Amino acid sequence: MGPSIDAVASSAELFVGASVLASYGGLIDGVPKSTEIATVVALFVTASLPFYLYGAWIVIDAEVVTWSVLTHHLKFISVGLTLTTVPVVTWMVPRLIEGFTGTVAMHAFFGLQAYALLLFALTGIFHIFRAKRAHSLYEDPDQDVDISELHENMGAWRFRLRVGVFGYVLTWLIAWLLGLVILFLRWERFLLG
């Protein structure tokens, strides 16, 4: 036999009460927990910027983009993407409608554009990886081969990659700045009462 109706109702009241209490009483008295979590999320997203910049510098600084340069570059870019994407998926998207303002709409728009441009870049990356596989650069990654010599369409694929990455970075920066404005406004409400 299952639990009684009174026990279920009591459990539901405790859960709802805990949910309400969880939204207040964070580490700083009087600051909603959601504002504190939003601050941590902003720190994670901000922490991704140095990984993006260093990952970009690796490719910009290389005379020839070899397989080893590319994989070294991708190690830093993947950390940056993780530091950005995990907070977006787990915190920002589920709370998008809460407090929906024009600034939040712009933040979401530019964030969505950033990921759309990243997908555009990935269409170039897919073909570049396929060409590298055809030239056995996966099996022998220490070859010093100029990737522009791997396929006749490599220039077009690299163009897609560059446009997508540039667009991603530009729209990511705009979304990031708007996110900081939103966070500042949340804290301003607390600080100014």
What would the pLDDT profile of 44-84 be if each residue is shown by its tens digit?
Answer: 999 999 999 999 999 889 877 777 888 899 999 999 999 99
Amino acid at residue number 89:
V
What is the rounded average pLDDT for all residues in the chain? 82
Is pLDDT above 90 for 110?
Answer: yes
How far is residue 134's CA from residue 152's CA, in Å, rounded to a whole number? 13
First to last CA, the chain: 52
Give residue 95's pLDDT. Answer: 86
What does DSSP assign to residue 28?
Answer: S
State pLDDT tens for residues 137-150.
666 656 677 777 88
Residue 89 confidence class, pLDDT cut points 50, 70, 90? very high
Q: Which residue has the tokens 């990356």?
A: 125
Residue 2 domain-assigned (yes or no)? no
pTM of the predicted structure, to 2 decimals: 0.75
Q: What is the rounded average pLDDT of the residues 105-133?
A: 92
For 10, 21, 81, 110, 122, the CA distances from 166, given in Å and listed in that order, are: 54, 43, 15, 14, 13
pLDDT at 63: 77
pLDDT, residue 71, reads 86
Within the chain, what is the greatest distance between any pair of CA atoms?
73
Of 154 and 178, more confident: 178
pLDDT: which is higher, 22 or 103: 103
Is the distance from CB of 3 to CB of 151 less than 8 angstroms?
no
Rounded-to-integer distance, Cα 119 and Cα 23, Å? 35
Query: Residue 13: what residue type?
Result: E
* 11: confidence class by pLDDT, cuts 50, 70, 90: very low
| pLDDT at position 24 over 80 | no
Query: What are the pLDDT digits (tens) for 153-174?
Result: 988 998 998 999 999 999 999 9
152: domain range? 34-192
pLDDT at 176: 97
- In total, how many domains does the chain have? 1
Domain contains 76: yes
d(CA 107, CA 2) in angstroms, rounded, equals 47
**Would residue 45 count as lying in a domain?**
yes
State the CB neighbour count (10 A cutoff) for residue 70.
Answer: 19
**Residue 164 counted as domain residue:** yes
Looking at the predicted structure, is the pLDDT value of residue 14 above 50?
no
What is the helix (H) or strand (E) element at residue 77, kind and residue range? helix 67-87
- Is residue 9 a part of any domain in this protein? no
Indicate the angle between helix axes 67-87 and 33-61, nearest 10 degrees. 170
Does residue 8 lie in a domain region? Answer: no
In-domain check, residue 176: yes
**pLDDT value for 113:** 98
Q: Do the domain assignments include residue 15?
A: no
